[in-house]
Amino acid sequence: MDRYVITGLGNIGLKYRNTRHNIGFMVIDELSDIFNIKVKKNHCLANVGEGIIKNHPVVLAKPRTYMNLSGQSIRALMDWYKSDISRLIVIYDDMDLPLGDVRIRYKGSGGTHNGMKSILNHLGTNQFIRIRIGIGRELNEDAVNYVLGRFPKQEKQIISQALDTAVKAITCILSEGIDIAMNKYNSKKDKGDV
């Protein structure tokens, strides 16, 4: 069975831990904890872990290339595991979505997100699953400072719920397919159980 490569985008190092730009890493950490998949091995320019989620073999990955070069690692992962591009799931932050909103899409542009631009460039296709998590935006604040900032206390509950929703969306994609996952999780309806 073709394995899914589930990649969260972020920047490595304590300096960037729990910043808005690292929300993709946070989702991978949640999956790691829930499904007991250790994401420790340094492989294909990423921290990776292999395991099973909803009866599907998966690779959980956090690229070590820093955000703007994420495509190097993801290209290496897809080549190494020989997974079909339809089995790639990329999770990342989106300033253009309201805080805590989760959106699943199959294909599309990278928008203004440099990590996604790198991935599209290295893969040469936009035909893969992406999960965007809204981090909101302060109109008067510099975009770089904003994404590299940490969530204030009053936003932590919203982000915790968004992480939970993202995990549920991923498990739904694996068990029921992307169309059902989009119908369930691209709205504010009840999110169900993992």
Tell me if 153 is assigned to some domain.
yes
With 60 as the cut, is the pLDDT of residue 19 above it? Answer: yes
Residue 80 included in any domain: yes
Domain carrying residue 130: 4-185
Give yes or no: 21 in active site: yes
Query: How is the chain split among helix, strand and coil, in percent rounded to 5?
Result: 45, 25, 35
Per-residue pLDDT at 187 = 60
| Of 78, 97, 76, residue with least CA distance to 86 | 78
Q: Is the residue at 51 inside a domain?
A: yes
- Can you tell me which residue has the tokens 């909101």? 136
Q: Answer yes or no: is 44 within a domain.
A: yes
Please check whether residue 193 lies inside any domain of the structure. Answer: no
pLDDT tens digit sequence for 60-116: 999 999 899 999 999 999 999 999 999 999 999 999 899 999 999 998 777 778 889
Nearest to 22 by CA among 111, 77, 93, 78: 93
Candidate list 21, 56, 113, 122, residue with the active-site label: 21
Residue 192 belongs to some domain of the structure = no
What is the distance, to the nearest Å, from the Cα of residue 121 to the centroid of all Cα atoms in its chain?
A: 18
DSSP element (H, E) containing 77: helix 70-81
Number of structural domains found in the chain: 1
Query: By percentage, how much of the chain surpasses pLDDT 70?
Result: 95
Q: What is the CATH number of the domain that holds 68?
A: 3.40.50.1470
pTM (2 d.p.): 0.93
